[in-house]
Amino acid sequence: MMRLQGKKALITGAGQGIGKVAAMRFAKEGATVCVVDINGEAGRQTVEEIKSSGGHAVSVTGDVSNAESCKAIFIEAESALSGINVLFNNAGIRDAKDTNPVDTPLSVWERTLEVNLTSIFLSCKYAIPAILRSGGGSVINNASIVAVVGSVFPQIAYTASKGGVTALTRELAIAYARRGIRFNCICPGPTRTERLEVFFDGREEFDSRRKFIPMGRMAEPIEIANLALFLASDEASYINGAMNIIDGGITGAYVASDLLSDV
């Protein structure tokens, strides 16, 4: 039996990267998927690929970091799906100008928190009533390992936003535990997506970061999507309020000071 048979799932930022792969994976396991992306064309392309593989999906275009747009997304999605059981809050950004607090522009700080943290607050605000109407379900928030460990590559706004995601997830998990909604977050390490690769200036920079990964490689999007699939399924029925680290061993590794001096 398919693991999400009969489930209605909404995934944000599903036009590319982890979100797109997750949307296709969820659909393969029987979910009807609402693909949400600010880039309407990218979202529709994901839907076409799902349908061409025999799955069921719809596309909704909008900006989850904007309150009115986010509200409209969930109204449209609940109607199109005839309910919502699963929400994967995946949309996020990482700005190249996001470095240390001295050099990071305030505008970059504010926009990063809007997209990475406020969007999750808004999505939960509008999704929770819909999920309760559907009899309960699962919410998965995409955070990062920088929410639990410091990074030798400064990204102050991104780190703060992802720390906020983990705290928000725990709070919601407690509040809705007896009302049939589970809230969990995923904390991925570096993942090979289109968005991340633009930050690497050639092979040398990639190699400088790869040495911090015990497995010697980045995660593939499907590996993150598989964890989201598990948390969305009834197999994870007793997992609630958890930070699920998926990083190839980075957070468990001891980093020698001589490596830090090379960065």
For residue 253, the model assigns a pLDDT of: 80
What pLDDT does residue 262 have? Answer: 44
Least confident stretch, 80-94, 143-157, 248-262: 248-262
**What single-letter DSSP state applies at residue 190?**
-
Q: State the pLDDT at residue 263.
A: 40
Average pLDDT over residues 179-190: 96
Mean pLDDT across the stretch 162-191? Answer: 97
DSSP, collapsed to helix, strand or coil, labels residue 130 as: helix
- Residue 207: the pLDDT is 59
- Judge whether residue 156 has pLDDT over 60: yes
Which range (41-45, 116-120, 214-218, 256-260) has the least confidence? 256-260
Q: What per-residue confidence (pLDDT) applies to 222?
A: 97
- Evaluate if residue 198 carries a pLDDT over 60: no
Q: Please give the order of strands across the beta sheet that includes 32-37.
A: 56-61, 32-37, 8-12, 86-89, 137-142, 181-188, 243-246
Residue 223: how many other CB atoms lie within 10 Å? 16
Q: Calculate mean pLDDT across residues 218-235.
A: 96
157 pLDDT higher than 60: yes
What integer is the mean pLDDT of 85-95? 97
User: What's the predicted TM-score (pTM) here?
Assistant: 0.92
Residue numbers annotated as active site: 158
pLDDT at 3 over 70: yes
**pLDDT tens digits, residue range 112-149?**
999 999 999 999 999 999 999 999 999 999 999 999 99
pLDDT of residue 196: 59
Report the mean per-residue pLDDT for the chain.
92
Closest CA to 84 of 145, 129, 114: 129
Dmax (CA) of the chain:
56
Confidence of residue 78 (pLDDT cuts 50, 70, 90): very high
Mean pLDDT on 30-57:
98
According to the model, what pLDDT value does residue 206 have?
Answer: 57
Q: Does residue 94 have a pLDDT over 70?
A: yes
What pLDDT score was predicted for residue 216? 82
Domains, the chain, ordered by start: 8-260 (3.40.50.720)
Q: Is 13 left (phi over 0), alpha (psi -120 to 50) or beta?
A: left
Instruction: Tell me the two tokens of residue 50.
Output: 């799902």
Region for 237 from its dihedrals, namely left if φ exceeds 0, alpha if ψ lies in -120 to 50, beta otherwise: alpha
**245-261 pLDDT, tens per residue?**
999 888 888 754 444 44
